[in-house]
Structure 1
Amino acid sequence: MSDWKAICRLDDIPVLGARRVMRPAGLDVAVFRNAEDQVFALLDRCPHKGGPLSQGIVFGTSVACPLHNWAIGLDDGCARSPDEGCTPKFAVKLEDGMVHLDAGELATHALDLERPVAGPRVLSPLPLGEG
């Protein structure tokens, strides 16, 4: 049996938008709301280049990554063809106007993925006198 954690009221999530849920360990979780008031939860990381899906545009049951416009399915976390790749999804339920996430999943799911680092790759400097 799941232990559900109340996250926010449905009205706290903008229609066609998202809200980020920080975790003590691992990357944030993005909770999305579509035009039909359905809620979905994905790791806040595009499978392509790690863009923050919570900043994307929700349409139907997909979200467009803000970096390269990949369409990611909110129901399964997978990129729509012709793109490929998936981001982890989280169990979510809506009850009496409150959005809940599975507490066990929040504590254990997808903890091994790293946040992408923006900017150019930093190379180790050469010792003085070399190069």
Structure 2
Amino acid sequence: MSTTTTGPVTREHVLGPAEDVPVGEGRAYAVDGRRIAVFRHRSGRVSATQAVCPHAGGPLADAQIDEEVLICPLHLNVFEFATGACRSGAPAITTYPVRVVGGELVVEV
């Protein structure tokens, strides 16, 4: 007798050219009915999170970023790219796997 375990289904989505997101900034995309913010770090890596701050709906794509965190532009909540955890007490945000393939941004949702 075998058992089958099912988990969340993820799908890859091509968002467009990575160069559409300036280095050091973020841009928001609509993906499968949700808003996702994609960031290009100065190091060249990319990160993706939900695009709306859970505290007051701030536009996270407009956040200031460094290699480890993003800072919500409305109330300065600090979120970690690696885990989505908030360093300033707000609820965590969702993070998404994202990479550049052939110059295109590809996110998993």
CA distance in 2, matches of 1:50, 1:35: 26
What SS class does the counterpart of residue 61 from structure 2 fall into?
helix
Q: Find the counterpart in structure 1 of residue 94 from structure 2.
A: 88
Structure 1 residues 97-125: Cα deviation after superposition (integer angstroms, max 9, x where no partner): 221012xx2xxxxxxxxxxxxxxxxxxxx
Given that residues 34 and 61 in structure 1 are in contact (C-alpha distance below 8 angstroms), is that contact kept between their aligned partners in structure 2? no
1:44-63 equivalences in 2 (<5 Å): 44-63=51-70
RMSD over aligned Cα, in angstroms?
2.0
TM-score under structure 2 normalisation?
0.79
User: CA offset at residue 24 of structure 1?
Assistant: 5.2
Percent identity over paired residues = 25
CA distance in 2, matches of 1:24, 1:38: 23
Q: Using a 3 Å threshold, how does the CA distance of structure 1 residues 47 and 100 change in structure 2: closer, same or farther?
A: same
Q: Find the counterpart in structure 2 of residue 97 from structure 1.
A: 103
The structure with the largest alpha-carbon Rg is: 1
Matched length: 101
Q: Find the counterpart in structure 1 of residue 40 from structure 2.
A: 33
Q: Find the counterpart in structure 1 of residue 31 from structure 2.
A: 23
Q: Find the counterpart in structure 1 of residue 71 from structure 2.
A: 64
Paired residue for 1:74, among 70, 78, 81? 81
The one-letter amino acid of 2:100's match is L
Q: Using a 3 Å threshold, how does the CA distance of structure 1 residues 99 and 5 change in structure 2: closer, same or farther?
A: same
Structure 1 residues 33-82: Cα deviation after superposition (integer angstroms, max 9, x where no partner): 111111111111223222110111112221110011111112222212x4
Given that residues 9 and 98 in structure 1 are in contact (C-alpha distance below 8 angstroms), is that contact kept between their aligned partners in structure 2? yes
What SS class does the counterpart of residue 22 from structure 1 fall into?
strand
TM-score under structure 1 normalisation?
0.67
